[in-house]
């Protein structure tokens, strides 16, 4: 498509979570620090929440890639399943042989023994669950029971939950209060500010091989922020389509026209009035400053 046109090695705004494009912006870096500190402290439950498109899965992949050799990691990307199936999936992911997993009647006992074996090897076992807001309540209660497995000094299993804000609503249920009390570390991902959006776009372009100073005009950045509200996934979609629009016209930079064209072709973007407001505000500020200067010069 437009790789050669813009001098890129790869597409900078793909939707697949590629950790080489991880940007250490404040909200993502703070969340990553919380994860690493909590795991090093031996906490049983850690929770990361955020709205759709705020980068939870990217952060999850970053965590999976960065954990050192002292950790054994099990990952379940879609834990929306009945309790017995979730238990079997956990057993399989942590390394129990299939023939043992098939015998569900003694799974908890087998899992406990396996966790003791892993601890005896000096390893920490971490279970990571993405889309945790979809776990049925009895599945969450099962996870709580699994974290009851411990030695005198530490938990045998640490669990990291990544989910949308609905996870917090689910955990507010009275029957899940015991689990909620065990979540000692949590973090809520925030939307990007305008300055963070610029850093985010620039970093991804650099990683993809862009060597010029700035691909987007200042007004294009402001409109991109207005349409996306700082949601990374929407930023990626709009930036990719805006670059396609620029390429289609033979333009070397991305302008207002290209971002507007991208927004017309994208569902879920912010309403036009807000997007227009971020363009008008700088002009209004300039007018206000001019009025103040003139009124000051006319005063006796």
Residue 15 belongs to a domain: no
Which of 163, 188, 213 is the endpoint of a domain? 188
Residues 90 and 164 reside in one and the same domain: yes
Residue 2 belongs to a domain: no
Residue 229 domain boundaries: 192-281
The whole-number pLDDT of residue 270 equals: 63
Residues 171 and 227 reside in one and the same domain: no
CB burial of residue 292 (10 Å; 0-12, 13-18, 19+):
exposed
Residues 184 and 215 reside in one and the same domain: no
The rounded distance, in Å, linking the Cα atoms of 37 and 128 is 15
- Are the beta carbons of 124 and 158 closer than 8 angstroms? yes
Residues 145 and 245 reside in one and the same domain: no
Contacts (Cβ under 8 Å, ≥6 apart) of 56: 48, 49, 50, 130, 162, 163, 164, 189
pTM: 0.86
The whole-number pLDDT of residue 282 equals: 54
Residues 81 and 182 reside in one and the same domain: yes
Residue 70 belongs to a domain: yes
Q: Is the dihedral of CA 212, 213, 219, 224 positive or negative?
A: positive
Q: From first to last of the 300 residues of the chain, give the pLDDT tens digit.
A: 899 999 999 999 999 999 999 999 999 999 999 999 999 988 889 999 999 999 999 999 999 999 989 999 999 999 999 998 999 999 999 988 877 777 767 888 889 889 999 999 999 999 999 999 999 999 999 999 888 877 766 788 999 999 999 999 999 999 999 999 999 899 999 999 999 999 999 999 999 999 888 899 999 999 999 999 999 999 999 999 999 999 999 999 999 999 999 999 898 786 554 545 555 455 555 555 556 666 655 555
- For residue 189, the SS3 value is coil
The CATH number covering residue 158 comes to 3.40.50.300
Residue 296 belongs to a domain: no
The whole-number pLDDT of residue 104 equals: 67
Residue 5 belongs to a domain: no
Residue 294 belongs to a domain: no
The CATH number covering residue 225 comes to 1.10.8
Residues 34 and 181 reside in one and the same domain: yes
Residue 6 belongs to a domain: no
Contacts (Cβ under 8 Å, ≥6 apart) of 267: none
Residue 184 belongs to a domain: yes
Residues 60 and 173 reside in one and the same domain: yes
State the total domains in the chain: 2
Residues 272 and 128 reside in one and the same domain: no
**Cα–Cα nearest to 125, from 73, 68, 200:** 73
The whole-number pLDDT of residue 121 equals: 92
């Amino acid at each position: 498509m437009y790789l050669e046109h813009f001098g890129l090695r790869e597409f900078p705004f793909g939707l697949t979570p590629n950790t080489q494009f991880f940007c250490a912006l404040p909200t993502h870096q703070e969340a990553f620090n919380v994860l690493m500190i909590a795991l090093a402290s031996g906490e049983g439950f850690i929770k990361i929440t955020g709205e759709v498109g705020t980068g939870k899965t990217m952060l999850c992949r970053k965590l999976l890639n960065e954990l050192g050799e002292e950790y054994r990691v099990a990952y379940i990307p879609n834990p929306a399943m009945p309790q017995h199936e979730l238990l079997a999936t956990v057993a399989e992911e942590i390394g129990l042989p299939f023939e043992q997993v098939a015998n569900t009647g003694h799974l908890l006992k087998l899992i406990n023994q396996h966790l003791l074996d892993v601890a005896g090897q000096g390893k920490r076992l971490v279970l990571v669950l993405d889309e945790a807001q979809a776990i049925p309540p009895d599945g969450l209660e099962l996870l709580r029971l699994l974290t009851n497995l411990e030695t005198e000094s530490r938990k045998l299993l640490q669990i990291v939950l990544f989910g949308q804000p609905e996870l917090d609503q689910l955990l507010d249920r009275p029957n899940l209060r015991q689990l909620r009390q065990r979540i000692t570390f949590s973090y809520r991902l925030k939307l990007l500010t305008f300055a963070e959006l610029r850093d985010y776009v620039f970093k991804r372009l650099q990683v993809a091989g862009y060597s010029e100073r700035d691909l987007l005009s200042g007004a294009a950045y402001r409109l991109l922020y207005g349409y996306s509200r700082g949601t990374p996934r929407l930023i990626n979609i709009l930036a990719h389509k805006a670059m396609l629009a620029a390429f289609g016209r033979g333009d070397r930079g991305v302008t207002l026209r290209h971002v507007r064209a991208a927004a017309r072709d994208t569902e879920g973007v912010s309403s036009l009035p807000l997007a227009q407001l971020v363009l008008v505000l700088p002009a209004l500020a300039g007018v206000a400053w001019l009025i103040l200067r003139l009124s000051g010069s006319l005063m006796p």
